[in-house]
Protein backbone atom coordinates (compact mmCIF):
# COMPACT_ATOMS: atom_id res chain seq x y z
CA UNK A 1 0.00 0.00 0.00
CA UNK A 2 2.78 2.44 0.87
CA UNK A 3 4.48 1.94 -2.53
CA UNK A 4 1.25 2.54 -4.46
CA UNK A 5 0.36 5.79 -6.17
CA UNK A 6 -3.01 4.63 -7.53
CA UNK A 7 -5.74 2.00 -7.32
CA UNK A 8 -6.79 0.12 -10.45
CA UNK A 9 -10.19 -1.40 -9.76
CA UNK A 10 -13.09 -3.13 -11.42
CA UNK A 11 -16.53 -1.57 -11.07
CA UNK A 12 -17.92 -3.92 -8.41
CA UNK A 13 -14.90 -3.57 -6.11
CA UNK A 14 -14.81 0.18 -6.70
CA UNK A 15 -18.46 0.59 -5.76
CA UNK A 16 -17.96 -1.42 -2.57
CA UNK A 17 -14.88 0.57 -1.58
CA UNK A 18 -16.48 3.91 -2.50
CA UNK A 19 -19.48 3.12 -0.31
CA UNK A 20 -17.32 2.27 2.70
CA UNK A 21 -13.93 3.98 2.82
CA UNK A 22 -14.87 7.67 2.66
CA UNK A 23 -17.04 7.36 5.78
CA UNK A 24 -14.87 4.99 7.86
CA UNK A 25 -13.60 6.50 11.07
CA UNK A 26 -10.56 5.48 13.06
CA UNK A 27 -8.68 3.94 10.12
CA UNK A 28 -5.61 6.12 10.68
CA UNK A 29 -2.80 6.22 8.16
CA UNK A 30 -4.15 3.24 6.18
CA UNK A 31 -7.56 4.85 5.70
CA UNK A 32 -6.01 8.17 4.76
CA UNK A 33 -3.91 6.42 2.12
CA UNK A 34 -6.93 4.50 0.76
CA UNK A 35 -8.92 7.71 0.36
CA UNK A 36 -6.09 9.87 -0.99
CA UNK A 37 -4.81 7.56 -3.76
CA UNK A 38 -5.86 8.20 -7.34
CA UNK A 39 -8.46 5.68 -8.46
CA UNK A 40 -8.88 4.22 -11.95
CA UNK A 41 -12.01 2.13 -12.54
CA UNK A 42 -12.17 -0.16 -15.56
CA UNK A 43 -15.84 -0.18 -16.55
CA UNK A 44 -18.07 0.18 -19.56
CA UNK A 45 -21.15 0.74 -17.40
CA UNK A 46 -20.12 3.10 -14.56
CA UNK A 47 -21.21 6.67 -15.29
CA UNK A 48 -18.76 9.47 -14.51
CA UNK A 49 -21.30 10.98 -12.11
CA UNK A 50 -21.28 7.72 -10.11
CA UNK A 51 -17.47 7.77 -9.82
CA UNK A 52 -17.65 10.13 -6.87
CA UNK A 53 -14.96 8.77 -4.53
CA UNK A 54 -12.19 11.38 -4.48
CA UNK A 55 -9.87 11.53 -7.50
CA UNK A 56 -11.57 8.81 -9.59
CA UNK A 57 -11.23 8.33 -13.35
CA UNK A 58 -13.29 5.78 -15.30
CA UNK A 59 -11.34 3.86 -17.95
CA UNK A 60 -13.47 2.78 -20.91
CA UNK A 61 -10.81 2.39 -23.62
CA UNK A 62 -8.58 -0.50 -24.61
CA UNK A 63 -7.30 -2.17 -21.41
CA UNK A 64 -3.76 -2.82 -22.71
CA UNK A 65 -3.30 0.73 -23.98
CA UNK A 66 -4.81 2.38 -20.90
CA UNK A 67 -2.88 0.29 -18.35
CA UNK A 68 0.39 0.60 -20.29
CA UNK A 69 -0.06 4.38 -20.23
CA UNK A 70 -0.69 4.34 -16.47
CA UNK A 71 2.33 2.11 -15.85
CA UNK A 72 4.56 4.45 -17.88
CA UNK A 73 3.66 7.46 -15.73
CA UNK A 74 6.10 8.43 -12.98
CA UNK A 75 5.14 7.46 -9.46
CA UNK A 76 4.51 4.35 -7.46
CA UNK A 77 2.77 1.06 -8.07
CA UNK A 78 -0.73 0.49 -9.44
CA UNK A 79 -2.58 -1.48 -6.78
CA UNK A 80 -5.33 -3.93 -7.75
CA UNK A 81 -7.45 -5.23 -4.87
CA UNK A 82 -10.31 -7.66 -5.32
CA UNK A 83 -11.51 -7.06 -8.87
CA UNK A 84 -11.25 -10.71 -9.92
CA UNK A 85 -12.48 -10.19 -13.49
CA UNK A 86 -10.07 -7.28 -13.98
CA UNK A 87 -7.19 -9.27 -12.44
CA UNK A 88 -7.83 -12.13 -14.87
CA UNK A 89 -7.89 -9.71 -17.82
CA UNK A 90 -4.60 -8.14 -16.69
CA UNK A 91 -2.99 -11.58 -16.26
CA UNK A 92 -4.15 -12.77 -19.69
CA UNK A 93 -2.57 -9.71 -21.30
CA UNK A 94 0.74 -9.93 -19.42
CA UNK A 95 0.15 -6.70 -17.51
CA UNK A 96 0.86 -7.97 -13.99
CA UNK A 97 4.41 -7.39 -12.77
CA UNK A 98 3.99 -8.71 -9.25
CA UNK A 99 1.46 -10.58 -7.14
CA UNK A 100 1.24 -9.72 -3.45
CA UNK A 101 -0.98 -12.25 -1.80
CA UNK A 102 -2.42 -12.06 1.68
CA UNK A 103 -3.21 -15.60 2.73
CA UNK A 104 -5.81 -16.00 5.44
CA UNK A 105 -5.74 -19.50 6.98
CA UNK A 106 -9.47 -20.13 6.82
CA UNK A 107 -11.64 -21.94 4.31
CA UNK A 108 -15.21 -20.77 4.03
CA UNK A 109 -16.31 -22.72 0.98
CA UNK A 110 -15.96 -22.10 -2.71
CA UNK A 111 -15.39 -18.80 -4.44
CA UNK A 112 -13.69 -17.10 -7.34
CA UNK A 113 -10.24 -18.41 -8.21
CA UNK A 114 -7.32 -16.01 -8.56
CA UNK A 115 -5.65 -18.40 -11.01
CA UNK A 116 -8.34 -19.78 -13.29
CA UNK A 117 -6.02 -22.51 -14.58
CA UNK A 118 -3.44 -24.32 -12.48
CA UNK A 119 -0.66 -23.99 -15.08
CA UNK A 120 -0.47 -20.24 -14.28
CA UNK A 121 0.85 -21.09 -10.81
CA UNK A 122 3.71 -23.14 -12.24
CA UNK A 123 4.92 -20.03 -14.13
CA UNK A 124 5.50 -17.99 -10.95
CA UNK A 125 8.75 -17.63 -9.05
CA UNK A 126 8.77 -16.85 -5.35
CA UNK A 127 10.24 -13.41 -4.75
CA UNK A 128 10.09 -12.36 -1.14
CA UNK A 129 8.03 -14.21 1.42
CA UNK A 130 7.38 -11.94 4.37
CA UNK A 131 6.04 -14.53 6.75
CA UNK A 132 3.30 -17.08 6.88
CA UNK A 133 0.52 -14.88 5.53
CA UNK A 134 2.12 -12.34 3.18
CA UNK A 135 3.71 -13.51 -0.06
CA UNK A 136 5.11 -11.64 -3.06
CA UNK A 137 5.62 -13.19 -6.49
CA UNK A 138 6.87 -11.74 -9.76
CA UNK A 139 5.74 -13.00 -13.14
CA UNK A 140 8.36 -15.38 -14.52
- Asked whether the predicted pLDDT for residue 6 surpasses 80, the reply is yes
- The pLDDT tens digits of the residues spanning 101-136 come to 776 655 455 667 666 665 555 555 555 444 446 778
The mean pLDDT value of the chain amounts to 83
pLDDT at res. 68: 93
pLDDT at res. 115: 65
Spell out the long-range contacts of 86-94 with Cβ–Cβ below 8 A and sequence spacing 24 or more. 86/8, 86/9, 86/10, 86/13, 86/42, 87/114, 88/116, 89/42, 89/63, 90/63, 91/115, 91/120, 93/63, 93/64, 93/67, 94/139
Closest among 70, 92, 72 to 139, alpha carbons compared? 92
pTM value?
Answer: 0.77
pLDDT at res. 130: 45
In the chain the domains, ranked by start, together with CATH numbers, are 1-95 (3.40.430.10), 97-140 (no CATH)
CB within 8 Å of 74: residues ≥ 6 apart? none
d(CA 77, CA 7): 9
Amino acid sequence: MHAASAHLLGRVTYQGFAAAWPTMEGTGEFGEKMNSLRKYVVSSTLADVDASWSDTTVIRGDLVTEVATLKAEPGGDLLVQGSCQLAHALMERGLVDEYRLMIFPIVLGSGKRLFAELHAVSKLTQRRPTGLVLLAYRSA
